[in-house]
Chain A
Amino acid sequence: KQEVTQIPAALSVPEGENLVLNCSFTDSAIYNLQWFRQDPGKGLTSLLLIQSSQREQTSGRLNASLDKSSGRSTLYIAASQPGDSATYLCAVRNSGYSTLTFGKGTMLLVSP
């Protein structure tokens, strides 16, 4: 059974810092991996989707990498801003017919 772990559970940084969020999964035979953002009291917003054949995806200040063999993914946020404050969730899909298995998230606070 797939298990997804995210470290750290919470992170507080001053504005402008570059930061890395970590995600690990127990079953490396994944179909794809997705990073989401959740703002308090709101739904999830998809940030990046990485297919199993890809090594990384980039969107603006966000870069997600995937190392399937070691069961790890990282989300790199460059030049963090207070508006980046949210919970970041990592989720993996094991096959084209399975649903997402989520980690518990990393709660990020970027202070001005």
Chain B
Amino acid sequence: DTAVSQTPKYLVTQMGNDKSIKCEQNLGHDTMYWYKQDSKKFLKIMFSYNNKELIINETVPNRFSPKSPDKAHLNLHINSLELGDSAVYFCASSLGLAGDQFFGPGTRLTVL
């Protein structure tokens, strides 16, 4: 009965590789988000989707490409991974753009 789920939980990869993180919510929400939490624990928005449409893109490098196949899923694909991409990536969802946000457990990405 998990509300917001992410896979994988941990991801270790080499510089230059391409990887994807998946997110699914079963709350019936129409808005989904990707956040990045860096080594200093600072949590920052990356993308926001509403009804499968990109609403917010916070100056994220175009190596990061989100994809929302339907309202319940928001995946994140990262090309040409760099050391600085190492972080914990959180997916979240809400009902409407201003609704209470529910977070997934996070994906810890380590780029070697």
Q: Which residues of A contact B (CB under 8 A)?
A: 31-32, 34, 36, 41-46, 49, 87, 89, 93, 96-102, 104-105
Contact = CB atoms under 8 A, between A and B. Distances in A.
Nearest to B108: A41
Nearest to B104: A43
A97 B90 CA distance: 20
B55 A100 contact: no
A43 B56 contact: no
B106 A43 contact: yes
B44 A102 contact: yes
Contacts of B45: 99-101
30 contacts: A31-B98, A32-B98, A34-B100, A34-B101, A36-B103, A41-B105, A42-B105, A42-B106, A43-B103, A43-B105, A43-B106, A44-B90, A44-B92, A44-B101, A44-B103, A45-B103, A46-B101, A87-B41, A89-B43, A96-B97, A96-B98, A97-B55, A98-B97, A99-B45, A99-B56, A100-B101, A101-B45, A102-B42, A104-B40, A105-B41
Nearest to A42: B105
A45 B56 CA distance: 22
Residue with the highest number of chain B CB atoms closer than 10 Å, among A44, A46, A49, A98: A44
Nearest to A93: B98
